[in-house]
């Protein structure tokens, strides 16, 4: 900026006190107009520094270029005018600071004002997934019967997933087509994603002395192609009870109690013979179709039979006790393994298992 304050008075043609007045008046006018044009703190600081800055402010320039070199005849008048200008600038700069701060506060207040007439912001609260709710339901029922809840690893060894459950080497379930095997470094022991929660039968019996009453909720994995009732990852709850005097009647009573608690007292149940290497005898357990009330006729869900298959179960095969150092002559027990996803689908009338894993809130909201 080419201000007069940077030039000596002699260069500006000022040689008498009278000629000072218009010069100072012009500077004051320039200050006033600059000062009026600022409206925020950053610009205010620029104004303050430009005028009052110790080294290069306009007033410092006037002191250096006008006052100091002034002739004795001019000096008192320059000094008086400069003091008056300084007082004006200092007062105005301070006044502008106060005005700008007050205006900023006003703006903030207006912005932050709470309008109680506006509708509130509703933040959706989280809920438990329908599968978690089903797990809890099942846990509640079995805890009331004196069972403990235990959990186990999803990455298993073939020993726990198959061998110790009396599933021999050649059993088709051990095929690559059905089981996810982990890619292991050369020479490392084989690992797999557990295909059922049954390995926890073995791990529990290894660690606990009988009597044992446990349920095992958890994820399991199979190389099944996804469709309405199959997923490659799904959930099971394993159950195991071992004691000295357990019979098939205890087993039946326990399962029937569970089904009535879970589906309601109208549900009817039945056993069908089945086969699992780790139970003997083995059964499939059916519940009367909750969609048609067990009538069957014309019902697509139970395909007209009136029954829906629920889960596999049976009395623990004595061969299994041999793997965990339990005495098969003294002990009896039963075990079951339920598919939780299908149980939830049945209870809540969900027609596609994939809906459980797609995380569509429109679906999830239906189960608050
Ligand atoms: C077993 O997994 C046995 N471990 C159950 C068992 C435990 C029997 C203890 C005896 C004693 P199964 O392969 O039938 O059995 O599977 C059990 C349940 O898992 C099935 O009834 C079904 O509800 C569910 N299931 C099986 N495959 C899938 C899949 N791909 N997607 C969803 N659910 C499945």
Name the strand (E) or helix (H) holding 138: helix 130-144
What's the pLDDT score for residue 177?
67
Residue 354: pLDDT band (50, 70, 90) is very high
Both structure tokens of 118: 């506006």
Q: How far is the CA of 223 from the centre of ligand 1 (A)?
A: 13
Residue 351 has pLDDT above 90, yes or no: no
* Top mutation candidate among 178, 254, 342, 357 for ligand 1, by most atoms within 8 Å of CB: 342
| Contact assessment for residue 223 and residue 232, using Cβ atoms and an 8 Å cutoff | yes
pLDDT of residue 116: 86
With cut-offs at 50, 70 and 90, classify the pLDDT of residue 338.
very high
Per-residue pLDDT, averaged over 213-232, amounts to 92
Give mean pLDDT, residues 157-169.
Answer: 92
The length of the chain, given as a count of residues: 368
Radius of gyration for the alpha carbons in the chain, expressed in angstroms and rounded:
44
Residues whose beta carbon lies within 6 Å of some atom of ligand 1 = 196, 198, 222, 224, 230-231, 234, 236, 238, 276, 279, 311-314, 335-337, 339, 341-342, 353
| pLDDT tens per residue, range 76-109 | 999 999 999 999 999 999 999 999 999 989 989 9
If you average pLDDT over every residue of the chain, what do you get? 91
Residue 180's Cβ-count burial label (10 Å; 0-12, 13-18, 19+) is: middle
Give the distance (Å) from ligand 1 centre to CA of residue 312.
Answer: 7
Task: For 148, list phi and psi in degrees, rounded to 5.
Answer: -105, 150
Residue 1 confidence (pLDDT): 44
Q: How many whole angstroms separate alpha carbon 231 and alpha carbon 220? A: 10
DSSP bridge pairs for 279: 276, 316
Sign of torsion over alpha carbons 322, 324, 327, 328: negative
Judge whether residue 231 has pLDDT over 60. Answer: yes
- Judge whether residue 70 has pLDDT over 90: no
* Ligand 1 atom index nearest CA of 198: 4
Q: Atom 28 (ligand 1): residue with closest C-alpha?
A: 230
Q: Which ligand 1 atom is nearest residue 201's CA? A: 9
pLDDT (mean) for 230-255:
95
Q: 49-85 as b/e, with b when 16 or more CB fall inside 10 Å?
A: ebbeeeeebbbebbbebbbeebeeebeebbeebbeeb
For ligand 1, the distance from its centroid to the CA atom of residue 293, given in whole angstroms, is 24
> Do 189 and 233 form a contact (C-beta atoms < 8 A)?
no
192 φ/ψ angles, rounded to the nearest 5 degrees: -145, 165
CB atoms within 10 A of CB 223: 14
Which tokens in the block code for residue 226?
A: 């996804």
Task: Using the structure block, give the residue that is written with the tokens 């399991």.
Answer: 220
Reading the block at residue 128, the tokens are 């438990």
Ligand 1 center–CA 338 separation, angstroms: 6
Highest mean pLDDT (candidates 190-199, 283-292, 338-347) = 190-199
pLDDT at 270 over 50: yes
pLDDT attached to residue 176: 65
Residue 3's pLDDT band (cuts 50, 70, 90): low
CA of 35 from ligand 1 middle (Å) equals 82
Arithmetic mean of pLDDT, 162-190: 86
């Amino acid at each position: 900026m080419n201000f007069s304050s940077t030039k000596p008075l002699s260069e500006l043609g000022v040689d008498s006190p009278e000629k000072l007045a218009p010069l100072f008046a012009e500077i004051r006018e320039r200050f006033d107009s600059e000062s009026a044009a600022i409206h925020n703190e950053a610009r205010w600081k620029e104004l303050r520094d430009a005028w009052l800055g110790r080294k290069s402010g306009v007033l410092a320039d006037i002191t250096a270029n006008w006052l100091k070199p002034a002739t004795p005849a001019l000096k008192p008048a320059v000094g008086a005018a400069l003091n008056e200008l300084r007082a004006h600038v200092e007062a105005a700069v301070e006044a502008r600071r106060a005005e700008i701060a007050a205006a900023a506060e006003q703006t903030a207040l207006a912005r932050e004002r709470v309008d109680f007439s506006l509708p509130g912001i509703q933040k959706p609260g989280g809920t438990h997934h329908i599968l978690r709710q089903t797990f809890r339901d099942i846990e509640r029922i079995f805890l009331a019967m004196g069972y403990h809840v235990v959990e186990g690893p999803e990455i298993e060894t073939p020993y726990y997933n198959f061998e110790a459950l009396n599933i021999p080497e050649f059993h088709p379930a051990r095929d690559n087509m059905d089981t996810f095997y982990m890619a292991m470094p050369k020479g490392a022991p084989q690992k797999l994603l557990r295909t059922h929660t049954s390995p926890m039968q073995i791990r529990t019996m290894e660690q606990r002395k009988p009597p044992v009453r446990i349920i095992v909720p958890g994820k399991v994995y199979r190389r099944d192609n996804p469709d309405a009732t199959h997923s490659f990852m799904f959930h099971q709850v394993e159950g195991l009870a071992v004691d000295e005097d357990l019979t098939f009647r205890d087993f039946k009573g326990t399962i029937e109690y569970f089904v009535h608690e879970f589906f309601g007292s109208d549900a009817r149940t039945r056993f069908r013979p089945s086969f699992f290497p780790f139970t003997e005898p083995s059964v499939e357990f059916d519940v009367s179709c909750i969609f048609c009330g067990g009538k069957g006729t014309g019902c697509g869900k139970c395909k007209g039979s009136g029954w829906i298959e629920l889960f596999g179960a049976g009395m623990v095969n004595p061969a299994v006790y041999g793997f965990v150092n339990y005495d098969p002559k003294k002990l009896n027990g039963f075990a079951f393994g339920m598919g939780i996803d299908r149980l939830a689908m049945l209870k809540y009338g969900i027609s596609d298992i994939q809906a459980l894993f797609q995380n569509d809130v429109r679906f999830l909201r239906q189960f608050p």
